[in-house]
Amino acid sequence: MFGPKVKLSKELFDRVRKYADIAGYSSVDEFVSHALEKELEFIGEADSEEEIRKKLQGLGYLS
Amino acid sequence: MVVTLISGILKRRRFAGALIVVSGLPRSGTSMMMKMLEAGGLEIVTDGERTADEDNPKGYYELERIKELDKGGDKSWLGVYRGKVVKVISFLLRELPDDFSYKVIFMRREMTEVLASQKKMEDRRGEDSQTEDEKMADLYKNHLWRVNYQLKNSKNFDFIEVPYGEVLEQPGPWARRVAEFIGGDLDVEKMAAVADPKLYRNRKRA
């Protein structure tokens, strides 16, 4: 309950609260935790930076 | 009212002498915007290394040194270009040093159009992309979210988002908006005349 806090803009927080409700999450905390877990899974799996870098090098936009 | 006035003055002071940066994903209209700003009267920084070709018939307006920003090292050389226009792809925005301020014109284009245009470019260059379009679109969307966060939350960045398709449909109003964002006395009519619908070759079909 008194763990680390994360700062969000009011605009984003309002949107998060709205969609957490629509999607049936019991709280904003639950929705945010789930979303972050999914994102971390995606980042780890895709090694996204490297894939974008390769793409841009192939196109001649990075050395 | 007073607060708005003061914050406006402080902002103008912070961004006086800023580097003007044209950014976005590759193939989102960054070269067109460079040409618009040149026509408007701004000094463009380019080394002419990458010359015009079928993908960019009017030229790339790039500086090779910028492409090495992510390799680290001294970046103070960028200071020479304050008040001038440089092209920095979205991937390299985070590599810009905090020592300067930046006014960023960020080009937006439909993701399907960006990917289609990049695919054509890869084909011409004989490159074989290992990543499927759907996955690449997800990667780019995530990347753009992070870039947007940086632009919104970094004190030394001021930015305007410019939709490529709309510029081609309404060049006048968009040229005016961009000129107002940059400030100074730009030739809006000449800027608008640059937007060339013939370049809109990978348009999304409705």
SS3 of residue B5 by DSSP: helix
Smallest Cα distance from A26 to chain B, Å: 26
Q: Residue A38 domain-assigned?
A: yes
Confidence of residue B145 (pLDDT cuts 50, 70, 90): confident
In a domain, B167, yes or no: yes
Amino acid at B76: S
| Res A43: pLDDT | 66
Q: Per the domain annotation, does B11 fall within a domain?
A: no
Using one digit for the tens of pLDDT, what is the confidence trace for A18-51?
Answer: 999 988 888 999 999 989 888 777 666 557 788 8
User: Is B98 inside a domain boundary?
Assistant: yes
The count of domains in chain B is: 1
Of A39, A58, A63, the CB nearest to B122: A58
What's the domain count of chain A? 1
Q: Look at residue A51 and tell me if it is in a domain.
A: yes
Residue B92 covered by a domain: yes
On whether residue A2 sits in a domain, the answer given is no
Tell me if A20 is assigned to some domain. Answer: yes
For residue B111, the enclosing domain spans: 17-195
Do residues B181 and B105 touch, judged by C-beta distance below 8 A?
A: yes
| Cα separations in angstroms, A55 against A30, A58, B42, B81, B137 | 35, 5, 31, 28, 12
Q: What percentage of chain B carries pLDDT values higher than 70?
A: 96
Of A48, A51, A61, the CB nearest to B26: A61
pLDDT digits (tens, 9 = 90+) for B17-58: 899 999 999 999 999 999 999 999 999 999 988 888 888 888
From chain A, pick out residues whose CB is under 8 angstroms from the CB of B139: 46, 48, 51-52
CB contact under 8 A, A62 and B139: no
The per-residue pLDDT for A1 is 56
Residue B6 lies in a domain: no
Provide the β-strand partners of residue B102.
B19, B157
pLDDT bin (cut points 50, 70, 90) of residue B5 is confident
In tens, the pLDDT along B108-123 reads 999 999 999 999 999 9
Domain hosting A34: range is 10-59
**Residue B8, in any domain of the structure:** no
Structure tokens at A55: 């793409």
Is B10 part of any domain? no
pLDDT tier, B107 (very low <50, low <70, confident <90, very high otherwise): very high
Query: What is the CATH classification number for the domain harbouring B171?
Result: 3.40.50.300
